[in-house]
Chain A
Amino acid sequence: MSRDNLIISDNDTDVQVDFPAEDQTSQEDNAHENKRRRKADGKERKKRAIKTGRASSIEDTEEHTQKHNRKRNGSKNHKHDKEKDQAKKYQNNKEEEGEIKRKAAKSKKNLKNEQTKKKEQDSEKSGTKKRSKEKKRKDSAEKDTKEKEKAKKKKKVIETSSEPESSEEENEEEEEEEDVVRPETLTPEELEKLKEAVEDRKKLIQGLRGKPWPMKKKLVTLKESQMFVEKYEGALGKGKGRKFYAYKVMMTKKWLKFKRDFENFKTACIPWEMKIKEIESHFGSSVASYFLFLRWMYGINMILFGLTFGLVMVPEALMGHPYGSLPRKTVPRPEEGSAMDFAVLWDFGGYAQYSVLFYGYYNNQRAIGWLKYRLPLSYFLVGVGTVAYSYMVVIRTMARNANEGGIGDDNSFNFSWKTFTSWDYLIGNPETADNKFASITTSFKEAILEEQESRKDDNIHLTRFLRVLANFLVLCCLAGSGYLIYFVVRRSQKFTLDGLENHSWWERNEVNMVMSLLGMFCPMLFDVISSLENYHPRVALQWQLGRIFALFLGNLYTFIIALMDEINVKREEEKIVRYNITMWEASLYNGTLSENSTAPPITVHPADVPRGPCWETMVGQEFVRLIISDTMTTYITLLIGDFFRAVLVRFLNYCWCWDLEAGFPSYSEFDVSGNVLGLIFNQGMIWMGAFYAPCLPALNVLRLHVSMYLQCWAVMCCNVPQERVFKASGSNNFYMAMLLVILFLSTLPAIYTIVSIPPSFDCGPFSGKNRMFDVIQETLESDFPAWFGKVFSYASNPGLVLPFILLMVLAIYYLQSTSKSYKQANMELKKKLQTQNEENKKKNKKAALKAAMDLEEARKAATQAAQLQAKHKPPSQQYENIEWDHEQRRYHRRDVRHQPTRGSRPPHHQEATGHLPGAPAQPRMHRSSNVPKH
């Protein structure tokens, strides 16, 4: 019984036992004893022995846990006692253990509603309980102790499991004890009740997982409940309770695992996801946004490539006339010698020019092969479809991104979430862990930057002035470079008319040189200017992008001008060639006819037939060459500017006079704006040229693929993260907007050439037609029923088309304005919500502050009183000084004010405060006691 005393001594710290619960337990106790006694004979001993063995092991550890908890809950001095306690425990019988544990469990439960009164009653209670225990022990003397222990556990389980249920369950238990031994004899109501009990247990089993108990307790509860369910479910004819449960749990786990694996699989299917994540974790989201954009671009080009490859190139290669059967499909005689040279092929001349890669190779036969595939029609539709699809995708992506941005995320706990939820507990791989560490650091830096930016408020007038100035400077730059380009282009046109031979190298390559010089130095200038503006780096990046974009438009403009000039030249040439060909044909036929009219017509080898210049193929070739040279430049600058620089900096640093890594050359940063613009303009070239060179999307896919790997590698191995890592908006809508502009600008010339320039007479799928789009009309006339053509012609009547366009404009306007108003409403709601949140928070804080102050004051008063009480004997008035006296009086006053709240204070405080109005305290004492008490 020594331990009981010990526990009671514990009571003054935390153990409180409720009356009702106590009654319940004793009742239950009796009930269980009865039950066990009755059943003991009928059951096999073996099974029970096993179960109790396990249970006892469980019990021991639980005791540890609870002791541990108690330890944490406060009284550390009890640690020693408890160890002693533990040592004794194994000598005593298990029954008492059960009791202690039960109390401990209760003590935990009731920690919160501490009430001092209960103390004596508690001791009383435990006394009566002990008595009843003893009685019981006498009763059940003949039973083995294990049996009893089991009973107690069950009882404990019931009381701890869930308070509201416990009484109900108890009733059930009692009923069962009397009747359930033979379930067939039950009345329907009892059966119902039993079923309910079983359901309750099941619920308990399911809810068990959600309880923060130590494993020990859970296991005991679980076993108990499962036994119950198994037994009575079996009795009720449902059977196999636990097995089914186990099966269910297993299946849920399997399902979860499958889902996770599937997610992983899906992630693994996204190309380059890992690479991009890795880059993002080291370089921040702005650099990653470039790679995301690159990947998106790659996807688009894949689809464009699929369209052109599947619907144009493959049918022509498989079903069209083979190479060498037609003049347009044969390398002309004078070029034959050099057609296989690498230099020629690299320039996409020779065999490459006379292949499916270019417009000129395609025949104008309406339907080819056994499929009767309408190749010219398909060529035209694919050309249109490419552009239409691109528009659709870009606009759709923009809309989706705008949507995402509109909803916005809840940022109220931004930093907290970053701190507490950013580690991914699934990581089990050191490299991944490294990446995660890097990414967490980066994300913190980004968030900190955002925070700093939002806090910053400088002289608004100065900033505004500087921004205006910067924009003015940039405009000057742009205007100057625009004029320069215009001037150079005009000059070069003059040179071309004169003939290029009698000009120097500089004069011939002036345009290109000027363009590349501008492209090199202007961005740097813009960069310097933008440092004036003091924008947030994300905004600064957008400005930078916009400015360089405007500069590059000049590039585009010169290119188009040059191309148009060349087309005009070729068309002049074509006229002459056409005339020559009629002459040649006439001479050919005249010569043969005059000799013998019955002879078979002379077959001329297709390579010998004279042919026109075919401007379409020329345009296609230009674009392909441009793409190739652009790609080469990108890769070479990457190698030299990044890789060699990094190598030099890294290895020359050992033998250099200053620190290369920290000093001047240092490592390069990743140039997001330049790379994004390069990508966008490249794509513009693809859109412009894809109609005349169906191979362009394929080339671009190749290029993007290579540059993905190359740039990923270069970034990871030769670049350093930017000094200010900032969070890019995840949506990249700015990139998309620029892409849309480029798409529009690049489709304009393509559409112009298709609509207004007649196709070449002897090459391409539209040869012999007046305009390229005539192919539609032709198809309508010959492949569709007559009424369809009629309907189409009516529909294309301007009288119908114009109102239709008007209607569409109206619809767009309407949708636009509604969406705007929705957005506004959304924003307002959000703002309202935010202010409300903040208000709530403020209110909470105020209340908390007030409560804390009250508490503090009361405490101070209490401690002071305690002091007074303790140091009542030495009055020592001689130390008194005015300040302390003043303070004393203040405390006094406060204490009086807070008299009512003192009721709930711990007892020693309460009695201590009673002494407060007594003699003034000793100043030194007061000061010292102020600090440590709490």
Chain B
Amino acid sequence: MFGLFVSRRLFFRYRDLAPQLVPLDYTNNPDVRLPYQLIGSMPELKDNPFRQRIAEVFSEDGEGNMSLNDFLDMFSVLSEMAPRDIKAYYAFKIYDFNNDDFICKSDLEKTLNKLTRNELSEDEVRMVCEKVLDEADLDNDGRLSLDDFQHMILRAPEFLRYNHSLYENHTVELCIGCLCFAF
């Protein structure tokens, strides 16, 4: 998966977040978790509206506190080289705010409000939610299942070609060199 060198770099990246907490020696597998506050303050995540969700999804305890393995997990999925299916799978999890394995209306509303920083009025949000459900909900149960989601997202133009945005005016220097999560 990752060569050792990458794991090492990621490990140091992880350790740099809290040098006092993370031991250098992992042979005895210490049970160390970094709190969400530290994870969320990484430059790769700190401007992301979904950072908390990302941390929650990838952490074992579901509260954003990450062990080294969760950390590696997260980066392997966020990596540019991760395949699309896996990205879609985790994207679904991220957008599924209430963990019920469906993206329902409240999840959509949350997503929208996070995306637009509450700039849209309630009517607009409701309308967009309706439209999204209308478009993507194939089995008409009023919420998006993983299948619906994948069916929709794998056709997205952003997903088809790795679209590196024009907004990126300074390259974020990353440990793996990539956080291209082209959801």
Q: B-contacting residues of A (Cβ < 8 Å)? A: 53-54, 56-58, 60-61, 64-65, 68, 72, 205, 208-212, 214-216, 218-219, 222, 242, 245-246, 249-250, 252-253, 256-257, 260-261, 263-264, 267-268, 273-274, 277, 409-410, 412-430, 432-433, 435-437, 440-441, 444-445, 447-448, 451, 841, 844-845, 848-849, 851-852
Query: Which A residues are in CB contact (< 8 Å) with B81?
Result: 209, 252-253, 256
Given that A57-B26, A210-B86, A451-B131 are contacting pairs, would A429 and B169 also be in contact in the complex, using a CB cutoff of 8 Å? yes
Q: Are A441 and B120 in contact (CB under 8 A)?
A: yes
Distance to closest chain B CB from A792 (angstroms):
51
A253–chain B nearest beta-carbon distance, Å: 6
Cross-chain contact A420 with B117 (CB below 8 angstroms): no
In the bound assembly, the distance between CA atoms of A426 and B29 in angstroms comes to 32
B98 in the interface (beta carbon within 8 A): no
Report chain B residues within 8 Å CB of A421: 153, 156, 158-159, 182-183
Residue of A nearest to B72 (CB): A215
State how many angstroms separate the Cβ of A178 from the closest Cβ of chain B. 31
- The residues in B between 57 and 73 inclusive whose CB is less than 8 angstroms from any CB of A are 60-62, 67, 69-70, 72-73
Render B70-86 as a binary contact track against A, CB cut-off 8 A, 1 for contact.
10110010101111011
Assess the A249–B115 pair: CB atoms within 8 A: no
- CB contacts (< 8 Å) of B180 on chain A: these are 260, 425-426
Question: Counting chain A CB atoms within 10 Å of each CB, which of B1, B153, B168 scores highest?
Answer: B1
Given the known interface contacts A54-B27, A445-B124, the answer about A264 and B164 at a Cβ–Cβ threshold of 8 Å is yes
A114 smallest CB distance to B (angstroms): 16
> Which residues on B sit within 8 Å (CB–CB) of A435?
167
Is B52 among interface residues, defined by CB-CB distance under 8 A? Answer: no
Asked if B166 and A277 make an inter-chain contact with CB atoms under 8 angstroms apart, the answer reads yes
Residues of A within 8 A of B182 (CB): 421, 425
Give the docked Cα–Cα distance between A799 and B156 (Å). 58
> For A205, A422, A423, which residue has the most chain B Cβ atoms within 10 angstroms?
A423
**Complex Cα–Cα for A242 and B1 (A):** 11
Chain B residues with CB under 8 A of A437: 49, 115-117, 119
Which single member of A68, A205, A277, A447 contacts B62 (CB below 8 Å)?
Answer: A68
Q: Could you write out 8 A-B pairs with CB less than 8 Å apart?
A: A216-B69, A253-B177, A417-B156, A426-B180, A428-B43, A428-B44, A428-B172, A845-B140
Interface residues on B, range: 35 or more
Taking A416-B152, A425-B182 as known contacts, 19 extra A-B pairs with beta carbons closer than 8 A to each other, sorted by chain A number, are A53-B28, A64-B60, A214-B73, A215-B72, A249-B3, A253-B6, A421-B156, A424-B167, A427-B168, A432-B47, A432-B167, A432-B168, A433-B47, A444-B112, A444-B116, A444-B120, A445-B124, A845-B140, A852-B140
B11 within 8 A of A: no
CA distance A427 to B163 in the complex (A): 13
B36 close to A (CB within 8 Å): no
The chain A residue with its CB closest to the CB of B117 is A437
C-alpha gap A209/B78 in the complex (Å) = 12
CA–CA, A419 and B152, complex, Å: 11
User: Chain B: which residue is nearest A841 at the CB level?
Assistant: B138
Main secondary structure of the interface of B (DSSP, over half): loop
In the bound complex, do residue B164 and residue A214 qualify as a contact, i.e. CB atoms below 8 Å apart? no
- Give which listed residue, A58, A409, A441, A848, contacts B139 with CB less than 8 A: A848
Set of chain A residues within 8 Å of B62, measured between Cβ atoms: 68
Q: Determine if B83 and A425 form an interchain contact, defined as CB atoms under 8 angstroms apart.
A: no
- Which residues on the B side are within 8 Å of A261 (C-beta)? 171
Q: Which residues of B in the span 127-159 have a Cβ within 8 Å of any Cβ on A?
A: 127-128, 131-132, 135-136, 138-141, 149, 152-153, 155-159
Which of A53, A273, A421, A844 has its CB near the most chain B CB atoms (within 10 A)?
A421
Known A-B contacts A61-B29, A215-B69, A250-B3; A210 and B111 likewise in contact (beta carbons under 8 Å): no
Q: Are B179 and A432 in contact (CB under 8 A)?
A: no
A845 adjacent to B69 (CB under 8 Å)? no
Query: Which A-chain residue is minimally distant from B119 (CB atoms)?
Result: A441
B165 at the interface (CB under 8 A from A): yes
Q: Kindly list chain B residues whose C-beta atoms are within 8 Å of the C-beta of A211.
A: 86
Q: Are A420 and B166 in contact (CB under 8 A)?
A: no
Interchain CB contact under 8 A, A419 and B83: no
Cα–Cα distance between A862 and B55 once the two chains are bound (Å): 40
A273, B138: Cβ atoms closer than 8 Å: no
The CA-CA distance from A435 to B47 in the complex, in Å, is: 11
> For the complex, what is the distance from the CA of A245 to the CA of B83, rounded to whole Å?
18
Q: Contact at B165–A427, with CB atoms within 8 Å?
A: yes
Q: Indicate which residue in B70, B73, B138 contacts A845 across the interface (CB closer than 8 Å).
A: B138
**How many Å lie between the Cα of A261 and that of B178 in the bound state?**
11
CB distance from A52 to the nearest CB of B (A): 10
Asked whether B183 lies within 8 Å of A420 as measured between CB atoms, the reply is yes
Give the contacting residue for A423; candidates B99, B115, B128, B135; CB below 8 A. B115
- Complex Cα distance, B81 from A851, in Å, reads 39
Closest to A436 in B: B167
Q: Which of A428, A430, A852 lies at the interface centre, i.e. has the most chain B CB atoms within 10 A of its CB?
A: A428
Chain A residues with Cβ under 8 A from B80's Cβ?
A: 253, 256, 260
Tell me the bound Cα distance from A829 to B29 in angstroms. Answer: 61
Q: A415-B132, A420-B153, A422-B115 are in contact. Are A222 and B1 (CB under 8 A)?
A: yes
- The smallest C-beta distance from A839 to any residue of chain B, in angstroms, reads 13
**Residue from A61, A209, A425, A430 whose CB has the most chain B CB atoms within 10 Å:** A425
Q: What is the bound-complex CA distance between A277 and B1, given in angstroms?
A: 37
List of B residues within 8 angstroms of A210 by Cβ: 83, 85-86
Chain B residue, CB-CB nearest to A455: B127
Q: Which B residues are in CB contact (< 8 Å) with A245?
A: 3
Q: In whole angstroms, what is the CA distance A56 to B27 when docked?
A: 9
Give Cα distance in the complex from A424 to B47, angstroms: 10
Question: How far apart are B31's CB and chain A's nearest CB, in angstroms?
Answer: 8
Kindly provide the distance from the CB of A294 to the nearest chain B CB, expressed in whole angstroms. 18
Whether B4 sits at the interface, judged by CB under 8 Å, is: yes
State whether A427 touches B138 (Cβ < 8 A).
Answer: no
Contact partner, B165, options A252, A424, A430, A841, Cβ 8 Å: A424
Report the nearest B residue to A56, measured CB to CB. B29
CB of B166 within 8 A of CB of A273, answer yes
Residues of A within 8 A of B2 (CB): 249
Query: How long is the Cα–Cα vector from A64 to B60 in the complex, in angstroms?
Result: 7
Partner of A267, one of B61, B82, B85, B166: B166
Chain B neighbourhood of A422, CB < 8 A: 115
Q: How far, in Å, is B113 (CB) from chain A's closest CB?
A: 11
| Residue pair A212, B86 in contact (C-beta under 8 Å) | yes
Among B29-63, those with CB < 8 Å from A are: 29, 43-44, 46-50, 60-62
Q: Is B97 an interface residue (CB 8 A)?
A: no
B47, A428: Cβ atoms under 8 Å? yes
Bound Cα distance from A494 to B76, whole angstroms: 83
Contacting residues, chain A, for B124 (C-beta < 8 A):
444-445, 448
A419 contact from B26, B99, B128, B181, Cβ within 8 A: B128
Contact B67 A419 (CB under 8 A): no
Residues of chain A within 8 A of B12, CB atoms compared? none
Contacts of B177 in A (CB 8 A): 253, 256-257
By beta carbon, the residue of chain A nearest B118 is A441
Minimum CB distance partner of A257 in chain B = B177
With A219-B1, A432-B169 as contacts: A212 and B141 at CB distance below 8 Å: no
Please give, as numbers and ranges, the residues of chain B lying within 8 Å of A851 by CB-CB distance. 139
Asked whether, in the complex, the Cβ of B169 is within 8 Å of the Cβ of A420, the reply is no
A423 adjacent to B164 (CB under 8 Å): no
